[in-house]
Structure 1
Amino acid sequence: MIRHIVLMKARPEVSEAHIAAIFADLHGLKLPGILAIHSGRSHSPERIERGYLHGFTVDFADWDALAAYQAHPDHRRVGAALVAAAQGGLDGILVFDLPVAGTGP
């Protein structure tokens, strides 16, 4: 399994409702190989998010499923909305792909 982790530093004028709508669109993606999607705002007691207060994870069956998701027009639509809401555009987004449960690169 591959866990796709995305963190976003939102522009100050972007409302929580707008971010929630982007995440709702993300949750609506029904693409092969998606096992689970989780999203929301950080509630970390450590408070070291450094402005990356919103994020989501998508669990994929394998690297091929992640690659298909990245190329899919629905992903590109949601991704464009996320970039538009992020402070500095793409500079306000972090992505980390983590193999989980013994899957290899």
Structure 2
Amino acid sequence: MTVRHIVLVKFKPELSEEEIAPLWEELNAIEGKVDGLGAICAGRSESPEKIERGYMHGFTVDFRDWEALAAYQEHPDHRALGAKLVANAQGGIDGILVFDLEIAAQPQGA
């Protein structure tokens, strides 16, 4: 079982990609600091559907289980990054969506 933590951010329109990039660097720096934290992927939407509704940036983090996600949420580096995301999101916390999805293990050979 894996828990996929999905975060979508509607950044303030005046923020450039160059100002957003350090936030993703800070996110990636958390890798290896929380037991059970797996893959991290972050960036700007490239969706051909173009229905992001202003949520043009986001990231996913995979966790071994719910306990690992809880440890990440309490980690000081996550809390610091979260505060920066809220400060840079349009409308503060209202400019951020979080969705956590439990993913069943894939059968061998699937």
- The TM-score range, normalised by the shorter chain, is over 0.9
Q: Matches of residues 32-71 of structure 1 in structure 2 within 5 Å?
A: 32-71=35-74
Moved over 3 A (4+): none
Structure 2: stretches of 5+ with no match in the other structure = 106-110
- Give the Cα–Cα distance (whole angstroms) in 1 for the partners of residues 44 and 19 of structure 2: 13
How high is the sequence identity, in percent, across the aligned residues? 64
- Give the Cα–Cα distance (whole angstroms) in 1 for the partners of residues 104 and 60 of structure 2: 16
Counterpart residue number, 1:23: 24
* Offset, 1:101: 1.5
Aligned-pair RMSD on alpha carbons?
0.8
Q: For each residue in 1:28-85, what CA deviation from the matched residue of structure 2 results, as whole angstroms up to 9, or x when unmatched?
A: 0022111110000001000000000000000000000000000111100111111111
Q: Give the count of matched residue pairs.
A: 102
* Offset, 1:15: 1.4
- Counterpart AA for 2:16: S
* Offset, 1:18: 1.5
Counterpart residue number, 2:80: 77
- Give the Cα–Cα distance (whole angstroms) in 1 for the partners of residues 96 and 38 of structure 2: 23
Taking structure 2 as the reference length, what is the TM-score of the superposition? Answer: 0.90
